[in-house]
Structure formats: C-alpha cells, structure tokens
Amino acid sequence: MQYVSTRGGVPAATYTEIILQGLAKDGGLFVPVQYPQVSKETLKSWRGLNYAQLATAVTALFAKDMNRSTIAHLCESTYTSETYDHGREGTDFSKIVPLVWLDKEVGILELSNGPTLAFKDMAMQYLGALFECVLSKRQEKLNILGATSGDTGSAAEYAMRGREGIKVFMLSPKGRMSDFQRAQMYSLLDGNIFNIAVEGSFDDAQDIVKAVSADLEFKTKYSIGTVNSINWARIAAQVVYYFSGWLQAAENEDEEVAFSVPSGNFGDVLAGWIAKQMGLPIRQLIVATNENDVLYEFFKTGRYKVRDSAHTYVTSSPSMDISKASNFERYVYDICGKDPERVCELWNELKTKGEFLLDGPEWERVKTSGVCSARSTHEERIERIRKTWNEHQFLVDPHTADGLNAAYKMKIDGVKTICLETALPAKFGKTIVEAVGFEPLLPNGYEGISEKPQKVVDMPANVQLVKEFIEQNA
C-alpha cells in the first residue's frame, strides 16, 4: 500500500517510510492512495478474534511492507490485559475495550484502561513498540516532538519512556491541563523525556510543532518525528477499536451502528471515518465538541473558521480546547475528491483569511457523509455526569460526558449508538466533585501522584527557543 500527502508535493511512500516522518515535507498529512476494503464475509470471520488478533488483521491491511508475523508480535505484546488493567473495578480487562450498555441503544466503549487512563494509550502503546522495532532494524534514532492538550503527552511519554533510540520533547499549554494530567506528565523523570510548558494555548504549541517540522533541514538533522494524531500509524491503530465496538454491538453483518466521539484534534473521529470508508457499517459519526465549537459550526454551515488562542475557551473538558483540528485536513481531502490542489487552495485561504467555506457539491458531500456534530456547555456536561452516575452508577469524565450529550442529541431511533470513552474520571477530580459531590477513585499505583517531584521547563511560545532546547538535549 502506498501513501501520499494531502497536498500532493511528495512522492508516494510505504507505511514504514512514513511512520517516522509524521508531517509530510510539503506540510500535508499522509493518507493511503486507497482505503483497504473489508467485506461482510471478513467481518463475520473476525467475530471470534481477540483484540490483539483483530489489531493484527486491521493493521496488516495498512502495513503491507511489514511481515505479518512482526505485526502480530507487536500487537500481541501490546494489547494485553496486564497493560490495560487500570479501569473500573469489575471490568473484564481481557476484552481490552469492553462495551458497556447504559440502556438498550446507548453504550460506552471503554478505551481508558491503559497506563495513563486515557484512550490515547490504545494507539500510543503500539506506536512505542513499533518505533523501537523499526529504529532498531534501521540502526537509527528518533527525537519525537509533540503537542498535547492533556492526554496525548502522557500517553506518548509512558509509551516511549526508556525505549532505545527515542527521546520525547512534549509541549503543553501552561496552566491549561488538569492537576492530574500535569502530574502524570511532569512526574516522569526518565532521561529520554523532556516536558516544555508553553505560555499560550494548545494551538500555539501545535503551531510550534508544525513550524519545526516544516524546517526540513532542522527536521532531518535532528531526526524529528511526531506521535500525535498527524502520525498515520496512530490513526490506523485507532481504527481497530471501531471494528471492535461494532463487533460487540452488531447482531449481524448488515446492522449499522452510530459512534459519538468527543473531539479535539479530529484524530479519534477520523479513525471512525476511515473505518466507515473501509466498509464498516456505520450509520453516523457524531463529532462532540465543547464550547470550542469550530467543528460544530462547520458541520452546521460548511464554514471552517479557526480561532486564535485568545478566543479559545478554557473549559472543564480541557483536552477538547482546540480550535485548529489538524486531522480535519484528511477528512476535507476525501470530501474534495482526494484533490491535493483543492486542499492547498483551501489551506492557503485558511492561512490568509482564517477561514474557508465549502459550498455547492462539496457541501452536499459533507451533508451526505454521515458525519454530524453537537456541542455541550459546562452545565450540560456536569448534568450528564450526574445523571449517568445517578441512573446507571457509571462515572464518566467530562469529555465522555460531552460525547454522551451529543449521542442523545443526535440519536437515531432504532440505531445503537456507541460513545467512545476519552479518559477515566480520576483525571478530572474537581469537575467530578462538582457533579456528584465526591472524589473519583484513583486506580492502584496512582495514589499521591500530585505530590511526586516534577520535571518541566517553562517557555514562551517561540519556535526558535524550542529548536535551541532540542539542539541542547537531542
């Protein structure tokens, strides 16, 4: 399988050639020339697979230049109940991503049982093993540069800590994460982990990552790679749990289900879009947003208008406080008929005007794509946390609450809707206390994490300063 850039400026490449690059050299994102197709017969044959076997089968469709035995080894060593056993008491961790029904037609896919208690672990743990494997074979090193609004950073650091040939430089918005999220990241004292708290928003941090990646000379000299959701290998790994969720929910190969996805950088829901393009029977994908509702506005009007950091709200679902969704480019690329010239035109318009509008046939394709959106306010997510606890004795974090709100707002009668869990409530104690009046339980091993020594460097949102820091520590 060959991969090309959404902006058409680089030669086609293989899976193992692109995974260490992250952003393409032309500033675009890698996408497959064609999505692999999964038949109803194949879906039926996958019903008896465990999660590691399913991950092997799906990943093999994207990684044609890797031996299937290597893929199987990576998946079997990654997706174990020993790694994904940090969830709620009584959970069947052997399923890796168990589906829990709140009622007959609305369920929650538990994606937060990994070591950092967030869905990012599902792909990131695999990426850590994959990177180490590929780098070892090539006898190369990698400096990972990333930006996080909370969960990506900790997931990346826990997946990469101590791995041979890898260093991580993670940018986070100073003062804009929960106490638990900060403690999780900053308390890692491993020699290959470097945390940088940037003065500004997540988008400011992400812009620095993109600017550094766009400096091809610097990127090449210091072997800069990425692990956030612009990395295709991570997106492909996230596709797996859509198949797992559907297999648990659908009673036959013709049954369509819906997914509601709390969204920030559009990576999680993009994986669902890809699964749908592969043939998975998905009726609709619901993009759940908080008060930072740029994506909601797009799916209502066709206008994509980004906001600067000053106009990006600090909310009680902080991992969704993003106004420039990087992975949105991949969706628009598909909507525009995989036309890189059109993508370049739109993103140049976005750069100069701060917005673009899809209308005519393109907007019609958006409306018929099966993707829609709903938004939540702070009051709504507090009420949803409270209601879900009172009625189902199931405690959810504020991002998952946004997903549940969207699921109920956009529900189609007779169609099962699966809400993707974002994180365990323990990561957002203050909000949980406001909703239900008590502190969420910390999984074993996380007691006193906020009191542990922390290692972090504060820095203005300045590309040159970040480059200098990498030069000094790479």
The two structure tokens encoding residue 139: 């006898």
**CB-side exposure of 28: number of CA atoms within 13 Å?**
28
Strands 371-375 and 355-357: unpaired
Return the closest-CA partner of residue 162 out of 132, 187, 120.
Answer: 132
Closest C-alpha to 369, from 269, 465, 297: 269
> SS3 of 134, please?
helix
Does 40 qualify as catalytic in the annotation? Answer: no
| Partners of 145 in beta bridges | 169
Q: Specify whether the CB–CB gap between 396 and 385 falls below 8 A.
A: yes
For residue 1, which amino acid is it?
Answer: M
Comparing C-alpha atoms, which of 240, 248, 292, 245 is closest to residue 266?
A: 292
Instruction: Name 108's bridge partners.
Output: 100, 419
Q: Give the Cβ contact number of residue 433 at 10 Å.
A: 12
> Is the Cβ–Cβ distance between 168 and 157 less than 8 Å?
yes
In one-letter notation, the amino acid at residue 94 is: S
Please say whether the beta carbons of 341 and 255 come within 8 A: no
- Tell the residue number behind the tokens 């994207």, with chain if given: 62
264, 22 Cβ separation under 8 angstroms? no
Active-site position among 40, 44, 120, 324: 120
Instruction: Name the amino acid, one letter, at 204.
Output: D
Give catalytic residues, as residue numbers: 120
